[in-house]
């Protein structure tokens, strides 16, 4: 079961792309070629990212923003260039609007605590959707416990699509924020963020978007979307783990008090009082993840060089092929059949627990995800304890889907 070459012309040179990802050459479990279908959990890193981080440590490792020496100046330059790359990625107006965080989760928590908490009164409402990742549920639940606010949940249908009209009808004068996922990690659904933002604007309610699963797959323009906060993680889009970003409009960020205190976020400290630093630094207390930020910037460059057009083209073909083949399997149910979908197929197979499927296909070299995907309310909605999930990146090829399906067939035979 070797990976067969089937060079794709015109749209995207998949094999040239694969060569940029050293881990794809790995063999696992008795020399089986690795088939990596767990991209929605974390994507792999291209050489460009790995080498840039390595280069930082080898040549110019230093702390940023404070040093007068050459290494610190170089490190600061690269760190801020990375911020500009993230600004370009999201089509933000200014680098002052890009705050580095540990990832999407920290970005959501920052908005919850620094933006929304001071504005909340008992009985106020936060509106999210039924398909949120725990990272866009739990920070709001914690905030509700702290303030007496109430969490409201907009429903989805059996296809896993957001019911926008229902969401609209749930907005009232107590609604203080709408939190929604752009692309669902558990279902693949691409949500109509622009439409929701238009509706929210009429009621003057800010919208936070969890974009962790969006930036790997589609061009995101925060200005066109009309949202107020956009949260992303580098590691989902071929960058390192432990770094991400919050985008918010400058006027909003100016109004927000700092969340964490420490170094980097001040201009002057005395025991009588402290003056906070300018945007975005007032939200970046402590020495930041410098190599991570540099890798993040390179991941953006990687996406720009590869081009979303080719990425989308390849991923749509993979999704279409996998969906078609998997639908034909007796007893297999795809969870999440939205019309607009990212390259994710979540499924259950009659008589086989997802955990067993994952364990067996792993022995055939195929890495898939099993479990609740940090979206337990989604599992509850579809009344399944867990699903198995394959998720694709543009470096995946059709033949890998064949290998996966063959392994899935073996798993089914073993579990029958």
Q: Give catalytic residue positions.
A: 374
Nearer to other proteins, 107 or 386 (CB): 386
Return the biggest CA–CA distance within the chain: 72
**352 scored as a contact of other proteins (CB under 8 A):** yes
**359 scored as a contact of other proteins (CB under 8 A):** yes
Separation CA 399–CA 9 (nearest Å) = 16
**380 scored as a contact of other proteins (CB under 8 A):** no
- Output the CA torsion sign for 225, 226, 230, 234: positive
The footprint of other proteins on residues 7-46 (CB under 8 A) is 29
**355 scored as a contact of other proteins (CB under 8 A):** yes
Q: Tell me the closest approach of the beta carbon of residue 28 to other proteins, in angstroms.
A: 12
Choosing from 175, 189, 370, 387, the residue that interacts with other proteins (CB under 8 A) is 370
Which of 38-46, 105-113, 260-268, 356-364 is the region at the interface with other proteins (rule: CB under 8 A)?
356-364
Which of 69-77, 329-337, 346-354, 374-382 is the region at the interface with other proteins (rule: CB under 8 A)?
346-354
Q: Tell me the closest approach of the beta carbon of residue 406 to other proteins, in angstroms.
A: 13
Nearer to other proteins, 134 or 410 (CB): 410
CB 334 within 8 A of CB 345: yes
Nearer to other proteins, 103 or 354 (CB): 354
Choosing from 103, 371, 377, 394, the residue that interacts with other proteins (CB under 8 A) is 371
Using the CB atoms, write b or e for 367-386: b if 16+ within 10 Å: bbbbbbbbbebbbebbebeb
Which of 72-80, 142-150, 196-204, 348-356 is the region at the interface with other proteins (rule: CB under 8 A)?
348-356
Q: Tell me the closest approach of the beta carbon of residue 391 to other proteins, in angstroms.
A: 17
Q: What are phi and psi of 293, to 5 degrees?
A: -65, -40
Helix (H, G, I), strand (E, B) or coil at 76: helix
Nearer to other proteins, 306 or 370 (CB): 370
**385 scored as a contact of other proteins (CB under 8 A):** yes
In this structure, how many other beta carbons lie within 10 angstroms of the beta carbon of residue 42? 16
**356 scored as a contact of other proteins (CB under 8 A):** yes
Helices (H), 207-289: 222-225, 250-255
Q: Tell me the closest approach of the beta carbon of residue 185 to other proteins, in angstroms.
A: 17
Nearer to other proteins, 86 or 349 (CB): 349
**H or E stretch including 83?**
helix 70-90
Q: What are phi and psi of 334, to 5 degrees?
A: -85, 125
CB 160 within 8 A of CB 131: yes
Question: Which residues pair with residue 231 across a beta bridge?
Answer: 210, 246
Which of 120-128, 194-202, 279-287, 349-357 is the region at the interface with other proteins (rule: CB under 8 A)?
349-357
Strand 244-248 relative to strand 229-233, pairing: antiparallel
Nearer to other proteins, 209 or 411 (CB): 411
**353 scored as a contact of other proteins (CB under 8 A):** yes
Nearer to other proteins, 325 or 353 (CB): 353
Please report, for residues 54, 56, 320, 403, the alpha-carbon distance to residue 1 in angstroms, rounded to integers and kept in the order given: 34, 39, 22, 7
CB 361 within 8 A of CB 372: no
For residue 375, give the nearest of 209, 154, 211, 137 by alpha carbon.
137
Sequential DSSP letters for 317-350: HHHHHHHHHHHTSTTEEEE---SSB-SEEEEEET
**414 scored as a contact of other proteins (CB under 8 A):** yes
Choosing from 363, 374, 382, 402, the residue that interacts with other proteins (CB under 8 A) is 363
Number of residues that bind other proteins (CB under 8 A): 16
**103 scored as a contact of other proteins (CB under 8 A):** no
Which of 153-161, 165-173, 264-272, 351-359 is the region at the interface with other proteins (rule: CB under 8 A)?
351-359
The site for other proteins (CB under 8 A) is made up of 29, 352-356, 359-360, 363, 370-371, 385-386, 410, 414-415
């Amino acid at each position: 079961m070797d990976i067969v070459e089937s060079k794709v012309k015109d749209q995207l040179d998949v094999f040239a792309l694969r060569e940029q990802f050293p881990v794809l050459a790995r063999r696992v479990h008795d020399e089986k070629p690795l088939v990596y279908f767990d991209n929605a959990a974390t994507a792999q890193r291209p050489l460009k990212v790995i080498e840039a981080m390595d280069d930082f440590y080898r040549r110019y490792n230093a702390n940023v923003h404070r040093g007068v020496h050459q290494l610190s100046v170089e490190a600061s330059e690269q760190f801020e260039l990375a911020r500009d790359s993230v600004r370009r990625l999201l089509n933000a107006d200014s680098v002052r609007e890009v705050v580095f965080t540990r990832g999407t989760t920290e970005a959501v928590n920052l908005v919850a605590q620094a933006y929304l908490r001071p504005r909340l009164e008992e009985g106020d409402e936060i509106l999210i959707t039924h398909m949120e990742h725990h990272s866009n549920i739990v920070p709001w639940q914690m905030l509700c416990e702290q303030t007496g606010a109430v969490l409201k949940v907009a429903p989805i249908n059996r296809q896993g699509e957001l019911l926008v009209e229902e969401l609209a009808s749930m907005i009232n004068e107590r609604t203080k924020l709408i939190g929604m996922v752009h692309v669902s990690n558990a279902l693949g659904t691409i949500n109509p963020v622009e439409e929701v933002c238009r509706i929210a604007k009429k009621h003057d309610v800010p919208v936070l978007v969890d974009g962790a699963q969006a930036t790997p797959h589609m061009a995101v323009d925060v200005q066109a979307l009309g949202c107020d906060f956009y949260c992303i993680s580098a590691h989902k889009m071929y960058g390192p783990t432990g770094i991400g970003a919050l985008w918010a409009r400058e006027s909003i960020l100016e109004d927000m008090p700092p969340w964490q205190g420490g170094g980097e976020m001040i201009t002057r400290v005395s025991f009588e009082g402290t003056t906070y630093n300018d945007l975005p630094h007032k939200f970046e207390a402590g020495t930041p993840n410098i190599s991570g930020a540099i890798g993040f910037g390179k991941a953006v460059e990687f996406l720009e060089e590869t081009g979303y057009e080719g990425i989308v083209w390849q991923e749509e073909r993979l999704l279409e092929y996998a969906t078609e083949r998997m639908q034909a399997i007796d007893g297999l149910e795809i969870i999440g059949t939205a019309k607009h979908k990212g390259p994710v197929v979540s499924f259950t197979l009659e008589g086989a627990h997802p955990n067993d499927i994952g364990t067996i296909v792993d022995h055939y070299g195929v890495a898939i995800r099993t479990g609740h995907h940090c979206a337990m309310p989604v599992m509850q909605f579809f009344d399944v304890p867990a699903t198995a999930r394959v998720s694709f990146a543009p470096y995946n090829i059709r033949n890998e889907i064949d290998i996966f399906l063959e392994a899935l067939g073996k798993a089914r035979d073993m579990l029958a």
